């Protein structure tokens, strides 16, 4: 096994996943980078539109060419979105909900990811009778529009005395993230070689022992994907945040929605765009960071064989 | 959150001896745009001045706000007060005994004598008891016209709907969009309702929406309104905007001749620094029948248990209709005050026209006061179809309209 | 290997599964049952047990908007499903060619997923707007007859939404596919190359079948997103022009929170849930009920 391991790590260092690249300016490379460039442009255009709009003053926005760069760059929309835009009475922009969003997102992501990874591990390696029935229900649950369950969940939380509490909101995010995350982890753990599991069992490790010492270290890529999903979903959530907590813990998206969705009054597109980019920065940062983890995760993933 | 309230309750008991005030009251509303927020700040300022504290919970959009309200009330954690469109939306909450009866406050403050028009208070009344405090009047029946567009087209600025329709070809020849209209159901059905209220006798509007009389809804007068709606559809055929304020912007920039929209459009003209009478005209009642509906907003108060909170609710309710608060609030909001006995001389031209109509009693109940949100949604869907599909004849649309009215409660 | 005599370790697994069991039973089964029960009532703004039998369903199926919604969802769903998989997989294989700047490219493709639907809808509404979007730019360049206004043509408006949906969602599919590709053993590639099998054949006949679990995850993710499609529509078209881009989830929400007609909303969501259950439950039992390493 040691040999195999070594050969894989070596192959990792020089080995691409796809067919081997050749000279730098080969026809294949020009084609490949050309295609990727065109694709990147398609994906980037809307961001470009958002950024240039966010740097224009309102009179310029009214002129109407969304692609033209700003004649006169102004950062006022950004300042306004972050610290001046009003949510009702409090004119502190997005900044007011920022820490609330952090307080909601961190525990929700951690708890939902832990629970789902344990679920997935149990379903992949320790299946007890009937486990699949619950799993099937869970998968079915991922197709239920959230809003349909809004009121039943209110009643449930009321009964356990957590309605209106931050803990209640964390539970709600854990519940609604559970189907997809459990599926993700279950499939990942199922794809790990069974020999590893068996060897650990022979060594006398139990449910938690194997999970912590064998499975977790090998699961970095899938944790990266799970975290991407959860951070995005929870950070961008608006409805649960307002329905299950009170105004003192409203997340940033309440302010974002108030800025972007106001229908009576002047719609300031430049501020809208700035507000969106600012709100999106946190998930984007996570992508960048976890994207790297995800690549490094290959090294861990490559151990299997 | 609950702990916070419990602590507050304890604190209130402790300090009750020294001060009867200093209560935090959570108030929920969906006034989030610049002017709206400035207006609601006037309420908060006045409330804080009583020694209490206004805890602001602003949620954009009536739909999300409704979801939150129902959840909070069902979850046993209601807010202190919330804004709603007065009318039939709150009926169920009242029937379920979830809203506080504020008749005593209304009587003590003499609302019956000062609220004008009295129908506003009727909209708050169920079985003779008052459950809400009306705070403003918003009307739909306005035609906003761009002077620049008509100058460019070389025709005089119309003074009524018929002249406007007649000017449409000239506008089109000059490359203008005759009528700007956002492609959203509420805007389209709103415009239709404005035509029904102004282009045909008033009994038609009441017969359809108040009495839900299918014969009137299927009758000749309503057929005329559908014909007018078809004219409007032709005039707006090239309108590609969705938001109402984007449509207003077309009028402001002179790209479109006019728009049918409620008095909140005023704010857009004000921000663009346009002057009523020189840059644009506002025609109440489409210049045909000068008549305004009296929709608007009101505050409701959920049933609470905590005595100190209840006291704070009472103070807020009384304060909302005080003359000073009414003036300050409505000037910022661009809406009309709910009492006729106060000085609104600071209002602009268009608002003065509205005030004059109100004083003359040329008013109608709003559709929101007459039909349920369910019926409103059905009508919105019908008109969004009608305006998007030129092949749908006015006759077909009227047939569907009749069946909606038949089913309406 | 899991026999009753190992009850102890299975016991740990059962303890660990409690959150899942509670969620499945109380939230998903309980919540669904609650919804079905109230779909037979005349609940308005508040859930109330005023029975009306099948009235809500009768109204539902005679409402044109509901029928149009279902048709739209079918068109959008099938197109989205096919395209998002093809695009996501191709992007993943391109990036997997050990390209430089992988981080940058991956982030560029994935960032739309970080943005809320509200703004995705708004930006694409602008870009597709004939007055100041792509059409006007191309016309300014000289092609004055160029026409591209998907959001204003009721016949193709749903595809205008599809463009934005793909833009927003394909990045995530790409990431999942990339994770799957990178889980493929290096030896497979070597063996295939030694045997002289062309790359495209290796992908199609060896790699893709090995990525089955990733495909399943992605499938559930994408399809559940399609069924729940709502925010994007609201932000981009509001269901228009006319009712050309209405979808079932929007009907449900509009009824529940806009029209204050919970009963009608619940009837519509019951129809959605029944359809999903009829397809998903048998499939899931087959897919996940089998042996461990599937």
pLDDT tens per residue across span A133-161: 999 999 999 999 888 898 899 999 999 99
Provide CB contacts within 8 A for B89, sequence distance 6+.
Answer: B66, B368, B372, B373, C45, C260
Judged by CB atoms closer than 8 Å, whether chains meet at A266 and B77 is answered as no
Residue B389 C-alpha, separation from nearest chain C C-alpha, in angstroms: 7
pLDDT on residue A262: 66
Burial B44-78 (b: 16+ CB within 10 A, else e): bebbeebebbbbbbbbbbbbbbbbbbbbbbbbebb
pLDDT on residue C142: 83
Instruction: Domain count for chain A, please give it.
Output: 2
- CATH code, B224: 3.40.190.10
> Is A303's pLDDT higher than 80?
no
Pairwise pLDDT comparison (B150 vs A303), residue with the higher score: B150
Alpha-carbon span B26 to B3, nearest angstrom: 15
Judged by CB atoms closer than 8 Å, whether chains meet at B384 and C242 is answered as yes
Residue numbers in A near B41 (CB within 8 A)? 89
Instruction: Domain count for chain B, please give it.
Output: 2
- Phi, psi at residue B144, to the nearest 5°? -105, 125
Which H or E run contains A278?
Answer: helix A269-301
pLDDT on residue C237: 87
Alpha-carbon span A275 to A258, nearest angstrom: 11
pLDDT on residue A169: 94
Beta pairing, strands B125-126 & B81-85: unpaired
- C-contacting residues in B 230-259 (Cβ below 8 Å): 240, 242
- What is the CB-side half-sphere exposure of residue B172 using CA atoms within 13 A? 13
pLDDT on residue B315: 94
Say if A208 falls within a structural domain.
Answer: yes
Whether residue A227 sits in one domain with residue A186: yes
Alpha-carbon span B358 to B246, nearest angstrom: 29
Domain that residue A157 falls in: 81-301
Q: What is the pLDDT along chain B (409 residues), one digit of tens a residue?
A: 455 555 544 444 444 433 455 789 999 998 876 677 788 989 999 999 999 999 988 887 777 888 888 888 888 889 999 998 766 778 888 988 999 999 999 999 999 999 988 888 988 999 999 999 999 999 999 999 999 999 999 999 999 999 999 999 999 999 999 999 988 889 999 999 999 999 999 999 999 999 999 999 999 999 999 999 999 999 999 887 877 888 998 999 999 999 999 988 887 787 788 888 899 999 999 999 999 998 889 999 999 999 999 999 999 999 999 999 999 998 888 889 999 888 888 888 888 999 999 989 999 999 988 999 899 999 999 999 999 999 999 999 999 999 999 999 8
**Which residue is listed with tokens 């969004």?**
B384
Judged by CB atoms closer than 8 Å, whether chains meet at B33 and A243 is answered as no
Judged by CB atoms closer than 8 Å, whether chains meet at B76 and A158 is answered as yes
Residue B116 tokens, joined? 């004008």
Say if B15 falls within a structural domain.
Answer: yes
pLDDT on residue B150: 96
Residue C2 tokens, joined? 């899991």
A276 near B CB under 8 A: no
pLDDT tens digits, one per residue of A192-240: 888 888 899 898 888 899 999 888 888 888 898 899 889 989 998 888 9
- End-to-end Cα distance, chain A: 9
Whether residue A46 sits in one domain with residue A116: no
Residue C181 C-alpha, separation from nearest chain A C-alpha, in angstroms: 8
**pLDDT > 70: percent of chain A:** 85
Nearest C-alpha neighbor of A269 from the set A72, A58, A80, A69: A58
Beta sheet of B256-260, edge-to-edge order: B177-179, B256-260, B142-146, B280-284
Domains of chain C (ranges, CATH numbers): 63-289 (1.10.3720.10)
Using the 3D structure, point to which of A74, A100, A121 is the last residue of a domain: A74
Say if A7 falls within a structural domain.
Answer: no
Residue numbers in B near C48 (CB within 8 A)? 92, 96
pLDDT on residue C273: 92
Query: Which chain A residue is nearest to residue B187, measuring alpha carbons?
Result: A263
Whether residue A197 sits in one domain with residue A145: yes
Query: Does residue A26 sit in helix, strand or coil?
Result: coil
Judged by CB atoms closer than 8 Å, whether chains meet at C239 and B242 is answered as no
Query: Which chain C residue is nearest to residue B238, measuring alpha carbons?
Result: C152
pLDDT on residue A147: 82
Judged by CB atoms closer than 8 Å, whether chains meet at C45 and B66 is answered as yes
Average pLDDT for chain A: 82
- Phi, psi at residue B87, to the nearest 5°? 135, -150
Residue C180 C-alpha, separation from nearest chain B C-alpha, in angstroms: 38
CB B244 within 8 A of CB A263: yes
Judged by CB atoms closer than 8 Å, whether chains meet at B1 and A165 is answered as yes
User: Can you say whether residue B206 is alpha, beta or left, with left for phi > 0 and alpha for psi between -120 and 50 degrees?
Assistant: alpha
Judged by CB atoms closer than 8 Å, whether chains meet at C107 and A148 is answered as no
Judged by CB atoms closer than 8 Å, whether chains meet at A88 and B56 is answered as yes
Arithmetic mean of pLDDT, A5-13: 38
Among A132, A134, A298, whose Cβ lies nearest the Cβ of C182?
Answer: A298
pLDDT on residue C257: 87
pLDDT band at A302 (very low <50, low <70, confident <90, very high): very low
Whether residue B168 sits in one domain with residue B79: no
Residues of C with CB under 8 A from a CB of B: 44-48, 64-65, 125, 129-131, 149, 152, 154, 237-244, 253-261, 264
CB B298 within 8 A of CB B292: no
Nearest C-alpha neighbor of B140 from the set B362, B293, B296, B337: B293
Whether residue A249 sits in one domain with residue A198: yes
Judged by CB atoms closer than 8 Å, whether chains meet at C154 and B374 is answered as no
Query: Does residue B363 sit in helix, strand or coil?
Result: strand
User: Which of the listed ranges A16-25, A263-272, C216-225 does the model predict with the highest average pLDDT?
Assistant: C216-225
CA-to-CA separations, C265 to A58, C43, C52, C250, in angstroms, rounded? 40, 9, 14, 10
Whether residue A97 sits in one domain with residue A32: no
Whether residue B375 sits in one domain with residue B226: yes
Tell me how many helices (H) and strands (E) chain B has.
Answer: 21, 13
Task: Identify from C35, C115, C121 which residue to disrupt to test chain A contact, counting A C-beta atoms within 10 A and taking the largest count.
Answer: C115
Query: Does residue B283 sit in helix, strand or coil?
Result: strand
- pLDDT < 50 stretches in chain C: 1-4, 292-294
Q: Which chains touch B (3 or more CB pairs under 8 A)?
A: A, C
Whether residue A274 sits in one domain with residue A184: yes
Using the 3D structure, point to which of B313, B334, B355 is the last residue of a domain: B334
What is the interface pTM, i.e. ipTM, of the complex? 0.86
Residue numbers in A near C137 (CB within 8 A)? 67
Beta pairing, strands B292-293 & B129-130: unpaired
Query: Which chain A residue is nearest to residue B246, measuring alpha carbons?
Result: A267
Domain that residue B183 falls in: 142-293+364-407
Say if B358 falls within a structural domain.
Answer: no
Say if A86 falls within a structural domain.
Answer: yes
Whether residue A195 sits in one domain with residue A94: yes
B245 near A CB under 8 A: yes
Whether residue A118 sits in one domain with residue A57: no
Whether residue A253 sits in one domain with residue A148: yes
pLDDT on residue A23: 56
């Amino acid at each position: 096994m040691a040999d195999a391991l070594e050969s894989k790590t070596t192959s990792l260092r020089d080995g691409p996943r796809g067919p081997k690249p050749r000279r730098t300016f080969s026809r294949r490379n020009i084609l490949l980078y050309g295609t990727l460039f065109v694709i990147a442009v398609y994906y980037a255009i809307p961001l470009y539109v958002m950024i240039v709009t966010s740097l224009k003053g309102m009179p310029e926005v009214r002129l109407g060419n969304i692609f033209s760069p700003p004649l006169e760059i102004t950062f006022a929309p950004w300042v306004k979105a972050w610290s001046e835009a009003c949510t009702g009475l409090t004119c502190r922009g997005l900044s007011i909900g920022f820490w609330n969003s952090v307080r909601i997102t961190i525990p929700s992501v951690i708890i939902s990811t832990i629970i789902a990874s344990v679920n997935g591990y149990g379903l992949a390696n320790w299946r007890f009778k009937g486990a699949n029935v619950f799993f099937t229900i869970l998968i079915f649950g991922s197709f239920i529009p959230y809003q349909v369950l809004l009121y039943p969940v209110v009643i449930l939380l009321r009964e356990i005395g957590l309605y209106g509490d931050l803990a209640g909101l964390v539970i709600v995010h854990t519940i609604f993230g559970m189907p997809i995350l459990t599926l993700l982890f279950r499939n990942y753990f199922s794809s790990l070689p069974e020999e590893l599991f068996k060897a650990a069992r022979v060594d006398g490790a139990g449910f938690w022992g194997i999970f912590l010492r064998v499975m977790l270290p090998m699961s970095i890529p899938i944790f990266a994907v799970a975290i991407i999903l959860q951070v995005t979903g929870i950070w961008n959530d608006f409805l649960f945040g307002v329905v299950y907590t009170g105004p003192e813990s409203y997340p940033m998206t309440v302010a974002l929605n108030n800025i972007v969705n106001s229908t009576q009054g002047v719609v300031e597109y430049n501020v809208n765009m700035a507000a969106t980019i600012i709100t999106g920065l946190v998930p984007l940062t996570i992508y960048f960071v976890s994207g790297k983890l995800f690549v490094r995760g290959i090294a861990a993933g490559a151990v299997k064989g | 959150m609950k702990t916070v309230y419990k602590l507050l309750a304890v604190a209130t008991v402790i300090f009750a001896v020294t001060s009867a005030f200093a209560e935090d009251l959570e108030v929920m509303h969906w006034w989030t745009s610049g002017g709206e927020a400035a207006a609601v700040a006037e309420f908060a300022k006045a409330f804080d001045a009583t020694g209490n504290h206004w805890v602001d919970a602003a949620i954009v959009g009536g739909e999300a706000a409704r979801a939150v309200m129902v959840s909070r009330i069902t979850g046993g954690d209601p807010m202190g007060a919330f804004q709603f469109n007065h009318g039939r939306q709150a009926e169920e909450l009242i029937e379920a005994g979830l809203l506080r009866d504020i008749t005593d406050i209304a009587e003590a403050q003499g609302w019956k004598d000062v609220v004008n028009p009295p129908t506003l208070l009727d909209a708050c009344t169920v079985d003779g008891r008052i459950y809400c405090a009306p705070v403003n009047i918003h009307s739909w029946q306005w035609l906003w016209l761009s002077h620049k567009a008509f100058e460019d087209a070389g025709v005089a600025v119309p003074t009524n709907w018929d002249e406007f329709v007649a000017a449409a070809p000239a506008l089109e020849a000059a490359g203008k969009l005759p009528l700007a209209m956002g492609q959203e159901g509420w805007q389209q059905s709103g415009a239709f309702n404005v035509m029904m209220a102004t282009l045909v006798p008033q009994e038609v509007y009441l017969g359809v929406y108040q009495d839900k009389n299918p014969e009137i809804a299927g009758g000749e007068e309503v057929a005329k309104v559908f014909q007018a709606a078809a004219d409007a559809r032709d005039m707006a055929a090239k309108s590609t905007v969705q938001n109402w304020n984007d449509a207003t912007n077309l009028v402001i920039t002179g790209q479109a001749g006019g728009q049918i929209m409620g008095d909140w459009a005023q704010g857009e003209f004000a921000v663009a620094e346009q002057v009523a009478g020189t840059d644009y005209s506002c025609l109440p009642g489409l210049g045909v029948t000068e008549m305004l509906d009296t929709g608007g907003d009101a505050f409701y108060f959920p049933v609470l248990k905590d005595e100190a909170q209840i006291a704070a609710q009472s103070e807020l309710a009384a304060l909302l209709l005080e003359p000073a608060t009414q003036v300050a609030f409505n000037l910022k909001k661009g809406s009309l005050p709910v009492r006729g006995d106060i000085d609104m001389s600071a209002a602009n031209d268009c608002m003065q026209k509205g005030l004059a109509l109100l004083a003359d009693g040329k008013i109608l109940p709003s559709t929101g006061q007459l039909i349920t949100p369910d019926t409103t949604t059905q009508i919105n869907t019908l008109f969004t179809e009608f305006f998007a599909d030129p092949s749908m004849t006015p006759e077909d649309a009227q047939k569907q309209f009749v069946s909606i009215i038949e089913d309406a409660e | 290997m899991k026999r009753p005599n190992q009850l102890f370790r299975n016991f740990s697994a059962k303890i660990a599964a409690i959150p899942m069991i509670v969620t499945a039973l109380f939230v998903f089964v309980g919540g669904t049952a609650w919804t079905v029960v109230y779909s037979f009532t005349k609940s308005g703004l508040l859930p109330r047990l005023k029975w009306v039998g099948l009235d809500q369903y009768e109204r539902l199926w005679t409402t044109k908007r509901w029928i149009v919604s279902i048709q739209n969802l079918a068109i959008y769903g099938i197109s989205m499903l096919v395209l998002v998989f093809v695009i996501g997989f191709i992007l993943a294989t391109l990036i997997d060619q050990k390209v430089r700047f992988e981080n940058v490219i991956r982030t560029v493709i994935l960032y739309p997923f970080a943005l809320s639907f509200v703004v995705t809808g708004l930006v694409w509404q602008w870009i597709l707007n004939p007055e100041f979007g792509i059409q006007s730019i191309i016309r300014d360049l000289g092609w004055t007859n160029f026409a591209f206004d998907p959001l204003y043509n009721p016949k193709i408006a749903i595809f205008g939404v599809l463009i934005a949906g793909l833009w927003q969602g394909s990045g995530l599919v790409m990431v999942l596919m990339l994770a799957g590709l990178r889980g493929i053993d290096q030896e497979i590639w070597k063996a295939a190359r030694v045997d002289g099998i062309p790359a495209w054949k290796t992908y199609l006949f060896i790699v893709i079948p090995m990525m089955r679990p990733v495909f399943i995850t992605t499938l559930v993710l994408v399809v559940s997103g399609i069924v729940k499609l709502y925010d994007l529509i609201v932000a981009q078209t509001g269901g228009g022009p006319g009712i050309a881009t209405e979808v079932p989830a929007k009907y449900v929400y509009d009824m529940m929170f806009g029209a204050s007609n919970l009963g009608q909303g619940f009837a519509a969501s019951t129809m959605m849930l029944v359809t999903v259950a009829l397809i998903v439950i048998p499939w899931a039992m087959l897919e996940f009920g089998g042996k461990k390493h599937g």
